[in-house]
Amino acid sequence: MVDPALLRVYQNLLDSIAEQMGSALERTGFSPNIKERRDYSCAIFDRCGAMVAHAAHIPVHLGSTQLSVEAAIARGDLGPGDVVLLNDPYSGGTHLPDLTVVTGVFEGESISPTFWVANRAHHADVGGAVRGSMALFTEIYQEGLRLPPVKLVERGVVVADVMSIIAANMRQPEERDGDLRAQLNALDVGSRRLLELLDSPRREELLAYGDHLQDASQRHIETLLAAVPDGRYHATDQLDGDGVIDEPVPIEVKITVSGNEATVDFTGTANSVAGSLNANPAITRSAVFYVLRALAGTDLPANAGLLRPITIVIPPGSLLDPLPPAAVAGGNVETSQRIVDVLLGALAGALPDRVPAQSQGTMNNVTFGASKSRYGPFSYYETIGGGAGAGPNGSGASAKHSHMTNTRNTPIEALEHAIPLRVTEYSVREGSGGDGQHRGGDGIIREFEALDRVEFALLTERRTVGPRGLAGGKPGAPGANRIVTDGTHVDLPAKHSGTMEAGQRLRIETPGGGGWGAPESDA
């Protein structure tokens, strides 16, 4: 018998350990991306590698990290004190800047772990052709250092040769070293907290409720699917283009619901593209995980049980399952958002009281860097929020991250302290949300002035077609990227790399969210 009160106690207990891991990572991180933006995620997994709990961190990380843990376990040679590091999108990772560390939690003299703990952090640079490692590339070799699952720590000792390889291939190696050691510290916090729980009279109850939590998530999703009429639900949408060929890139999904099970089939999606918008299956899994959790409408335990009733079909060689050496830097951040859009679009008719209009549909990725400046060499990365889609119960939020990202912004003071840029405007983009009975949220204007010559790169979306409204609501305004020089501006494409001279400004206007319901003017 499962006690509902104990189920919630253990859910909160395990979630809180993942949150403590995140707090440790934030406090000890070196880069603004870690200590200010909190671009990381932490989670706990059972002895088989199935996720049992995670912190409220980054959705695109959380649904995919289990594949990294499975890749680490597949090595078969991990013992107490060992930590695996990986980022290879073709072997358990997502894109190269996301470095994931995994370790087992071993009790006493046991040779098998009782739990696994892992965290993933986006590093501001992992080498490659462009500072920041987030730009328009055409093959993965241009994107940075690629790491299959390797031991970073063996029997409690950092493997010096691996750290030397990392330092030799990444810009600002001291910052990378600091962020990586913060990740290791977070693993240690999670391991110690779990061992404290295991060293108690309620050890067996803890392990049992780890399984019960996964069963509970499965039941929640089965209940959600049972409320959807049996049938096939279809939607298509598109990316602006891959940055190499200026043509829309379609993404298509067909969701077939039968009783309390569903098949999510992406057949019809474009083939892999030349640019860096390809997304591996781990990212698609994350998007499905996120949408189901959001639509369930309850505070369900978020773990591996959530996807048990779901079959995901992804055509090999497609945009969502590319063959190496396809470039993937933007798939994790941009394509993931469009996958969410098509999933919600397919289910809008089936669950009209739960599905909102489209949100901004991009993370507005921007990187800056220089080999020399008044601050020394630097690499910097951030994403920028925008408008959220309105829903049946109210207007969309303005100037927020939405869907697959959940980072903070970088405070202006922290940014200006760390790199040679001045933020000349940071404001709500008034009127960019789509009109409707409930109005879409407005986007953001963020403008950077270069104080020295700097390199920059943009990976953005929704610059051609704005986010769609729903139930008669109007679309949100598309975003825009511009270089401003002496009061004149030049429009930039959605994917672009360039340089700014001192005094030039990069102006980014992010999309507004779609409106919901026909506006009064249409009545």
Rounded CA gap, 125 and 171, in Å? 6
Rounded CA gap, 151 and 77, in Å? 10
The two three-digit tokens of residue 33, written as one number:
């991306």
Beta strands in 213-280, from DSSP E residues, in sequence order: 231-239, 249-258, 261-265
Rounded CA gap, 151 and 156, in Å? 11
Q: Per residue in 181-206, pLDDT tens?
A: 999 999 999 999 999 999 999 999 99
In a 3-state reduction of DSSP, which class is residue 169?
helix
Q: What is the pLDDT of residue 523?
A: 60
Residue 57 has pLDDT above 90, yes or no: no
CA count, 13 A, side-chain hemisphere, 174: 3
117, 146 in Cβ contact below 8 A? no
Measure Cα distances from 219 to 295, 296, 305, 346, 490 in Å.
14, 11, 8, 22, 53
Between helices 203-226 and 173-198, what is the axis angle to 10°? 110
CB-based contacts of 110-113 (< 8 A; 24+ apart in sequence): 111/79, 112/47, 113/47, 113/78
345, 291 in Cβ contact below 8 A? no
Contacts of 173 (CB under 8 A, 6+ apart): 166, 167
User: CA angle, corner 381, sides to 177 and 484, nearest 5?
Assistant: 150
Q: Per residue in 403-443, pLDDT tens?
A: 999 899 999 999 999 999 999 999 999 999 999 999 999 99
* Of 59 and 485, the one with more pLDDT: 485
Q: What is the pLDDT of residue 297?
A: 80
* Mean pLDDT rounded to a whole number for the chain: 96
448, 423 in Cβ contact below 8 A? yes
Mean pLDDT to the nearest integer, 80-95: 95
Q: Per residue in 286-302, pLDDT tens?
A: 999 999 999 998 778 98
Domain boundary among 214, 243, 274: 214
Mean pLDDT to the nearest integer, 122-145: 95
Rounded CA gap, 291 and 490, in Å? 37
Query: Nearest to residue 459, comparing CAs of 287, 275, 237, 252?
Result: 275
In a domain, residue 31? The reply is yes
How many domains does one find in the chain?
Answer: 2
Q: What is the pLDDT of residue 252?
A: 98
In a domain, residue 377? The reply is yes
Q: Per residue in 336-364, pLDDT tens?
A: 999 999 999 999 999 999 999 999 999 99
In a domain, residue 280? The reply is no
Rounded CA gap, 337 and 405, in Å? 9
Measure Cα distances from 141 to 137, 295, 328, 482 in Å.
9, 38, 10, 29
Q: What is the pLDDT of residue 59?
A: 85
In a domain, residue 284? The reply is no
In a domain, residue 475? The reply is yes
Rounded CA gap, 196 and 107, in Å? 10
Q: Per residue in 1-21, pLDDT tens?
A: 899 999 999 999 999 999 999
Phi, psi of 182 (to 5 degrees): -65, -40
Residue 522 has pLDDT above 90, yes or no: no
Could you tell me the residue range of the domain that residue 506 belongs to?
356-523
Name the band, by pLDDT with cuts 50, 70 and 90, for residue 521: confident
In a domain, residue 410? The reply is yes
| Amino acid identity for residue 487 in this structure | G
Identify how many contiguous H helices and E strands the chain contains and give both numbers.
10, 20
In a domain, residue 398? The reply is yes
Residue 92 has pLDDT above 90, yes or no: no
Contacts of 377 (CB under 8 A, 6+ apart): 171, 172, 369, 370, 371
Q: What is the pTM of this model?
A: 0.96
How much of the chain exceeds pLDDT 70, in percent?
Answer: 100
Between helices 203-226 and 4-28, what is the axis angle to 10°? 100
The two three-digit tokens of residue 396, written as one number:
């969309």
Q: Per residue in 444-460, pLDDT tens?
A: 999 999 999 999 999 99
44, 122 in Cβ contact below 8 A? no
458, 339 in Cβ contact below 8 A? no
Rounded CA gap, 42 and 189, in Å? 11
In a domain, residue 252? The reply is no
Bridge partner list, 183: none
Omega prior to 149 cis, within 30 of 0 = no
Name the band, by pLDDT with cuts 50, 70 and 90, for residue 389: very high
Domain boundary among 193, 214, 235: 214
The two three-digit tokens of residue 164, written as one number:
């030397």
Domain boundary among 164, 179, 214: 214
